Amino acid sequence: MKVLAISGGSKNGSNDAMAREALMGAKEAGAEIEFIRLHDLNLKPCTGCIACVNNLMQGGNGDCVLKDDFKWLENKVLDADGIIFVMPIFEKGSPGIMHVLQDRLCGPSHDIGINFVAQKIAEKEGKPGPDPRKFKKKAVSFISIGGSDWNTRVSADMNLVAMTASWKVIDDIVFAWAKSIVLDDEKVATCHRVGVNIAKAAADIDNARYLGDPGVCPLCHSRNFFLNSDGMAVCEVCGMTGELSKVDGKFVFTVEPGQYDLAHTLLPGKLKHMDDIYHYETRLAEQKKTPEYKERIKKYVAFISASKPEQKEDIQ
Ligand SMILES: Cc1cc2nc3c(=O)[nH]c(=O)nc-3n(C[C@H](O)[C@H](O)[C@H](O)COP(=O)(O)O)c2cc1C
């Protein structure tokens, strides 16, 4: 059973230290462990070309066309039974490097709904199709470390990492005022426990349970909601719509009927999303062939070109 810790912090800083502390716990609980620092890797941002999804829809494996260290990292992630993401809090949320990884690892090419459909296409056409490890059940935990109490977005950011592949979240810890976390024995012990917990969860994934703050959303435990103008609230992680009320001084989220079938973290909601995307992507592919579409794009390209430093190559 393999447990991976991925740190997005500065070299040998608080995040690296707490990732290693969690791995000490995971090792004690019997896991084979590995530590990765995102800043050691060459990871390019996703350009949104969707070559990966197009490839999946044609029976391919959906590999990214960018050439960098992503494939190496993806293999580590796909092999792991448990992953602990340890990230510094930047601007109240997860850092840019985490978003770069997220777009590559947790975008449509790794969505289990899309891969489910892709596998069926591949079987029908006798093609290789998606890597079977994309369907592997996995436990993940999140540790977010901030220098202040500006942290209201980070849990939602981190939990979205688990959404695409429907990974099972075990712990979700946010540390405020944690610049000196290495010297704070209580917080260090919490990180150690996160490691023990994930090793135990990964060893028995079918019975693994969420161990964190119960939160407000009954499905994904999020405390982050988008408040619509019609009085309804939308959970920022699983996307379920409902009403927020206060009962005995605590917020309660009562979801509208049918919302569990639309939840972004569960397979039925993913398959619906897949249908929607498929409809709009195929419509766009047809529209792109028309003279009107080509004319409109030509007008924008002719209007102004993008400024860039002289030595910069065109980004795809
Ligand atoms: C660009 C930037 C933005 C930051 N924004 C926040 C913030 O919004 N909230 C917070 O609690 N800490 C914030 N911090 C503090 C970092 O979370 C803290 O320095 C980090 O956890 C240290 O990790 P390291 O020692 O592993 O590099 C920010 C730091 C930087 C560099």
Ordered per-residue pLDDT tens for the chain, 316 residues: 999 999 999 999 999 999 999 999 999 999 999 999 999 999 999 999 999 999 999 999 999 999 999 999 999 999 999 999 999 999 999 999 999 999 999 988 999 888 988 999 999 999 999 999 999 999 999 999 999 999 999 999 999 999 999 999 999 999 999 999 999 999 999 999 999 999 999 999 999 999 999 999 999 999 999 999 999 999 999 999 999 999 999 999 999 999 999 999 999 999 999 899 889 989 999 999 999 999 999 999 999 999 999 876 666 5
| pLDDT value for 277 | 87
Check residue 310 and give its pLDDT: 87
Task: Give the list of residues 6+ apart from residue 261 with CB closer than 8 angstroms, or none.
Answer: 268, 269, 272
**What pLDDT was estimated at residue 278?**
87
Does ligand 1 lie within 6 Å of residue 20's CB atom? no
For the chain, give the number of residues. Answer: 316
* Every domain of the chain and the residues it spans: 1-213
**Superfamily the domain 1-213 falls into:** Flavodoxin domain (3.40.50.360)
Contact, 255 vs 234, CB < 8 A?
no
* Cβ of 90 less than 6 Å from ligand 1: yes
Pocket test for ligand 1, best of 87, 90, 184 (most atoms within 8 A of CB): 90
Mutation choice for ligand 1 from 10, 145, 151, 182, CB with most ligand atoms inside 8 A: 145
Residue written as tokens 């509208």?
256
Is any atom of ligand 1 closer than 6 Å to the C-beta of 182? no
How far, in Å, CA of 285 to CA of 215, rounded?
Answer: 42
Task: Give residue 148 CA to ligand 1 midpoint distance, Å.
Answer: 8
For residue 13 and ligand 1, the question of a CB distance below 6 A is answered with yes
Ligand 1 pocket residue status of 89, Cβ below 6 Å: yes
CA 149–ligand 1 middle distance (angstroms): 10
Distance CA 271, CA 222 (A): 22
DSSP letter string, 30-79: T-EEEEEEGGGS--PPP----HHHHHHHTTS-------SSHHHHHHHHHH
Residue 74: partners with Cβ closer than 8 Å, 6 or more residues away: 104, 105
Q: Which of 11, 12, 18, 89 to mutate to test the pocket of ligand 1 (most atoms within 8 A of CB)?
A: 89
